[in-house]
Structure 1
């Protein structure tokens, strides 16, 4: 075998530790015979000890060799599949460390997609659904975005009243924290313009009248049906898995997993329809029953794994409701919305931390991040744990003091990775100064913080190639740069979307790079991100996505 000792080349020390020799077809020399071999590729491994290669081999769903085409091809046996990629670029499977795929998939099956770009088209889509919906039953829309309508204004209660006064209607913002309701919905909920806002919620009003927009905890007064069958939920998981695979995703962290979600993922796996490796963050309401059963973070296998318990402590970045120490531009009395008190955060973190769980808390604004860090630091003092890796979901607006505390505590921020590009028209409500400290990938890297990749889909697009472009350029669709000081290199962006994603779930030893012994997840690209202009990275095509050596998407 050229200049390599066969045992060293195969990395069998790592392979044996991972149990890779079980069931292996031996060659005459007793070595592993790969199931799949890839040759003549531009392999960007994300392994610092071997950043580039030409070829690799997979056996029993894991990489067993990485090196030159001639050396790896020499390992082929009679039953090995050999793929010649003719110079195409191969990268590790991309990881999205904060997303909501089960809800997105179910919405596509049950509700009205209102990502239509105009109020008039939204009204038409809802009217069409109303024709087949009995009076009194809800019409539910999803994926609405208030800043992306041709009319140049947001959807309102009166717009929805023009669709129907016989059906209660709710159109949810893609950000997940606000919705627009019609008069019938308010009537059924008993809400008027005089109704007081609850803690952590808000009924929006103009000129003494309800606009229809409702935020955060105030939405709880509406009895919007959420029931679905197990079959529908499993189908939804299968559908969104295929879409995410087509974008190059192989692993996803589901934020806020309900009991029904846990079942849906197991059902999809049992039927052979799950093609994403899932790290499942339990909802706060689901957590107690899991904890009482003795389960904790890390339980599961390489396909379905229990992740952190996830809580939510403030509003939304894209819906401009996150809680900040300074007001929104043009709204001097609006500092955003907190949805948990400091005492509630302390209690939630203490219970989960002491039970051995990783904790993840949605904290967008600087005020909220400070409150969450207070709770994490309190537990580190009172009940120290080794390598807990508690997380700050979104962690949108930071400052040097917060960065210092995050670094010292070893906490993991998961800021939005496509937002700077996709939601550019919203950032004017934060202003230039804040945007230099928002989605602060550069600052996190500078402080040595293992910042995780996060789309938060549906609120943000999940496409990793768009994420690379967004983090590198910080340009929106119009070409405006938001927070230029937070631009990072492509090398850094690639590392975030692979190795950092694995680190966020304590899985850096089994995924995140093309390395012997790790899971055989990879993506084939039509071009190298290094060979195109940064503004064109998102146009690169995903040619193939492979999970555990099995092709789950091919263009």
Structure 2
């Protein structure tokens, strides 16, 4: 028996009986020598269990007690632990069982709140976007903002992006913004520009850009230039907590059991705590602080790791350049067809040095959004500097996205012990955008193969809402690098299916210092797992994303069942 023998399991059960709760559903047998105090709460049998534990790579069954795996072995061994009336038994009928998937860079709280409050513009055509916004405008008093979300400029039937004139046709009485799903640009109408006092002659701020064409504002605004628009938040505390609950259910349905919530504001921290208190936080959350929330936590003496197995303070997160999907990331070479466009830098080297020093010396893990190669080098400069001046063991600083790399960058990342978190669904989902980078550059983007070859524990990252969070789509994307049209982007960066599964489980846990508690189906670890209708190894790689998620379990409790 993996980790704990039958005799050891019974002994541990007797010792810890006072602290262990009993199962709630009848089992299908009676273990010899077992009693109600040593009985597992749950056993899963008759499965194809791919544990991601190198000591026991596969099994057919496992037992769970008090929210943790306590034994991983054969059906016969595990069935012998069942106590009728105390142990719940799940027969998975030879389906495949994997550790719960981990998304190490996502924005669930914002996505959930958007779904409750704003206008979903992920509609595939400008005409449908206008209709949805017009319907909201008709129910909104003049002068109040209309906010759209999940817009994608390259996925419209009209074959062009949304612009200011399109939004003016919806309303000139309401300021309107339609945010790109990438989170770094938005499209505004004329009323919004008037409200902000922005004209075609307004200079671009550092780290931002007002798009212009033919002597007029197009409506598109990028990066820090969006800060001139005062778009009020009208959400209540109750709505924010409900938004967390909504997105938890949606992500659980795809097999996710843990997320790293990046850029957590004060309100988002409260929302997560409220959802947790209400029993609706069904994703284990590593909440990465930002801005005001980070300062407040620092002042209180709190740092990375504070919390429990369900809700924990993560790293502090900053953003140093633009977006890969919105084609604003800061690079050493220009975008295809735009010889003067190298992207947008949103932090100076001095600013990066300052925040990294403050956080590092205070004991925090640091995570900085850096897509382009030049920006990545700036972040590495800061990480190397603080380790030289104020060495800390095992700090695991991170580079969020780390999209465009070079051999020199790979060596520096490895040598510094830095964790990269590149997009895991982008190669597949955003294929039409990669023409603006070109085939040669894509051989060095989202470089999962290179990271693994250099011995770097690359983390799994959707960046939702910018990218889909579905882990099965992520497996397909990392294995095939093939987009919806069948084009392959960066074939040299393909990884094997087994490597991709490990990225989405074991490596996700490592990125948050939780490799001893999650990431594999191992005795002693948290009982987070997912049941799939088919083994991804047995299906065409181009249809991995179509596999049904039958059940998702967090701490022994089912949070999704198909």
TM-score range, shorter chain: over 0.9
Q: Distance in 2 between matches of 1:88 and 1:447?
A: 34
Of 399, 409, 415, the residue aligned with 1:402 is 409
Deviation at 1:5, TM superposition (A): 11
Please state how far the C-alpha of 1:227 moved relative to its aligned partner.
3.3
Partner in structure 2 of residue 63 of structure 1: 69
Where does residue 22 of structure 1 map in the other structure?
19
Q: Is the Cα contact below 8 Å between 2:64 and 2:71 reproduced in 1?
A: yes
Alpha carbons of structure 1 residues 475 and 293: separation in structure 2 relative to 1, 3 Å: same
Give the match for residue 372 of structure 2. 365
Gapped regions of structure 1 (runs ≥ 5): none
C-alpha separation in 1, matches of 2:261 and 2:17: 28
> Residues 305 and 98 of structure 1: is their aligned pair in 2 closer, same or farther, counting only changes over 3 Å?
same
> What is the CA–CA distance in structure 2 between the aligned matches of 1:321 and 1:43, rounded to whole Å?
42
Paired residue secondary structure (2:159): coil
Aligned match of 1:213: 220
Task: Deviation per CA, 1:258-287: give whole Å up to 9, x if none.
Answer: 010111011011111110000000013321
Deviations 1:464-515 (A, max 9, x none): 0000000000000000000000000001000000000000000000000000
Partner of 1:294: 301
| One of 21, 39, 49 as aligned partner of 2:45 | 39
Aligned length: 551
- Retained in 2: the 8 A contact 1:14–1:517? no
CA 1:188–1:510: 2 relative to 1, 3 Å: same
2:423 to 416, 422, 437: 416
1:310 Cα deviation after fit: 0.3
Pair 1:77-2:83 in alignment: yes
Paired residue secondary structure (1:285): helix
State the match for 2:558 in structure 1.
551
What residue in structure 2 maps to residue 105 of structure 1?
112
Tell me how far 1:208 sits from its aligned partner: 1.2
2:487 matched residue in structure 1: 480
Contact 2:104 2:459 in 1 (8 A): yes
Contact conserved, 1:39 with 1:55, CA < 8 A, in 2?
yes
TM-score when normalising by structure 2: 0.96
1:121 corresponds to: 128
Q: Identify the residue that residue 226 of structure 1 maps to in structure 2.
A: 233
Q: For the residues of structure 1 that align with 2:7 and 2:543, how far apart are their CA atoms?
A: 37
Note the C-alpha offset of 1:32.
Answer: 3.1
d(CA) in 2 for partners of 1:340 and 1:12?
54
Separation of aligned partners in 1, 2:299 and 2:43: 45
Separation of aligned partners in 2, 1:158 and 1:80: 63
Matched residue SS, 1:115: coil
| Aligned residue runs from structure 1 range 95-244, under 5 A | 95-244=102-251
Verify the 8 A CA contact 1:118 1:149 in the aligned structure 2.
yes
Cα separation, partners in 2 of 1:231 and 1:347, compared to 1, 3 Å: same
Q: TM-score, normalised by structure 1?
A: 0.97
Q: CA deviation at 1:77?
A: 1.1
Residues 196, 462 of structure 1: alpha-carbon distance in 2 compared, 3 angstrom cutoff: same
Say if 1:7 and 1:505 are closer, same or farther in 2 by CA, change over 3 A.
Answer: closer
Q: CA RMSD in A?
A: 1.8
Q: Structure 1 residues 416, 6: closer, same or farther in 2, change over 3 A?
A: closer
Partner of residue 8, structure 1: 5
**Are the equivalent residues in 1 in contact too, given 2:2–2:523 (CA < 8 A)?**
no
CA-CA distance at 1:225 after TM superposition: 1.3
Assess if the C-alpha contact under 8 Å between 2:113 and 2:243 holds in 1. Answer: yes
Q: Does 1:455 find its partner at 2:474? A: no
Q: Report if aligned partners of 1:20, 1:62 keep a CA contact under 8 Å in 2.
A: no
Report if the CA contact (8 A) 1:398-1:437 is conserved. Answer: yes
SS in 1 for 2:19: coil
Q: 1:398 and 1:452 mapped to 2: Cα distance?
A: 15
For residues 378 and 15 of structure 1, what CA distance do their matches in structure 2 show?
Answer: 47
Q: Residues 342-368 of structure 1: CA distance to partner in whole angstroms, max 9, x if unpaired?
A: 000000000000000000000000000
Cα drift, residue 7 of structure 1: 5.1
Cα–Cα, structure 1 residues 21 and 67, in superposed 2: closer, same or farther, change >3 Å? farther
Q: Does 1:349 align with 2:364?
A: no
Q: Is this contact kept in 2: 1:281–1:306, CA < 8 A?
A: yes
Partner of 2:281: 274
Instruction: Report the equivalent of 2:30.
Output: none
Secondary structure of the corresponding residue to residue 5 of structure 2: helix
Q: Distance in 1 between matches of 2:162 and 2:72?
A: 54
User: Following TM superposition, by how much is the alpha carbon of 1:388 offset from its aligned partner in structure 2, in angstroms?
Assistant: 0.1
Q: Alpha carbons of 1:548 and 1:6: their partners in 2 closer, same or farther (altered >3 Å)?
A: closer
Task: Report if the CA contact (8 A) 1:24-1:33 is conserved.
Answer: no
Q: Is the 8 A contact 2:22 2:87 kept in 1?
A: no
Alpha-carbon deviation of 1:237?
Answer: 0.2
Specify the SS of the correspondent of 1:286: helix
Is the 1:201–1:339 contact (alpha carbons within 8 Å) kept by the matching residues of 2? yes
Matched position secondary structure for 2:292? coil
Determine the structure 2 residue equivalent to 1:324. 331
CA–CA separation in structure 1 for the residues paired with 2:246 and 2:179? 21
Tell me if 1:514 matches 2:521: yes
Q: Could you tell me how far 1:29 is from its partner in structure 2?
A: 7.5
Residue pair 1:97, 1:454 contacting (<8 A) in 2 also: yes
SS for the counterpart of 1:298 is coil
Residue 306 in structure 1 maps to residue 313 in structure 2: yes
